[in-house]
Amino acid sequence: MNRATTSRALIGLVALLATAACSGSLPWTADMVETPARHADEGLLMPPEGSLSTTGEVKQSRFRAAMSLRNPLPGDTATIESGARLFEIYCQPCHGAAGQGDGAVASYFTLRPPADLTGTKVRAQTDGYIYATIRDGGGSMPPLGGSLSETERWAVVTYLRSLQQ
Ligand code: HEC
């Protein structure tokens, strides 16, 4: 490479850098700006199609859950007792101590009151449906999945079955 070629190459490079600087940034300095991150008010960034949960729980509608989920816990006394404790905290205020839909705040639900959990309708529901109702709520019932872990939800289902006996 002779001198003239080298200096022309240098001038070319300087010109390129100057153009990039004037236009705001070099192509590689924008990497951190152009991320899939979202602003807080833009809503949740959903996982890509086909992603699998690392906690092993696949989100399903209550109707799908009703068909495919099985209660993995044994129906022993320890499980029932832990379910009873959780029921008292998370369900009783609306559904009442015996689950009959007459909890302390039940009267505030004027359109669709808390269900009688010992009635024929809920008795006929599968464990999976009740589990998913606890997790995601349904109708005028709020979701409680953020407060109860998977095991805790199944413990409540187990207790509920004992209440229905
Ligand atoms: C803030 C009040 C509230 C709490 C807390 C609550 N529920 Fe409910 N639940 C409701 C209401 C209201 C309904 C009736 C929903 C409707 O029909 O729109 C309902 C309905 C249900 C149903 C019937 C669902 C159906 O589709 O028929 C089940 C089962 C149920 N609740 C279980 C539970 C369990 C178990 C807990 C505790 C882990 C719980 N709920 C906590 C208010 C509550």
Ligand 1, atom 37, lies closest to the CA of 91
The per-residue pLDDT for 52 is: 76
Closest by alpha carbon to 78, among 160, 155, 157? Answer: 155
Mean pLDDT, the chain cut into blocks of 10 residues (165 residues total): 79 72 66 72 76 75 93 97 98 98 96 96 97 95 94 98 95
Q: CA–CA distance from 147 to each of 43, 89, 121, 126 (Å)?
A: 21, 11, 25, 22
The per-residue pLDDT for 86 is: 98
The per-residue pLDDT for 13 is: 78
Sequence-distant (≥ 6) Cβ neighbours of residue 112 within 8 angstroms:
139, 140
| Residues 71 and 145: beta-carbon distance below 8 Å | no
102 lines ligand 1 (CB under 6 A): no
The per-residue pLDDT for 27 is: 67
119 lines ligand 1 (CB under 6 A): no
Report the b/e string of 140-155 with b at 16+ CB within 10 A: ebeebbeebeeebbbb
Neighbours of 7 (CB within 10 A): 10
| Residues 81 and 152: beta-carbon distance below 8 Å | no
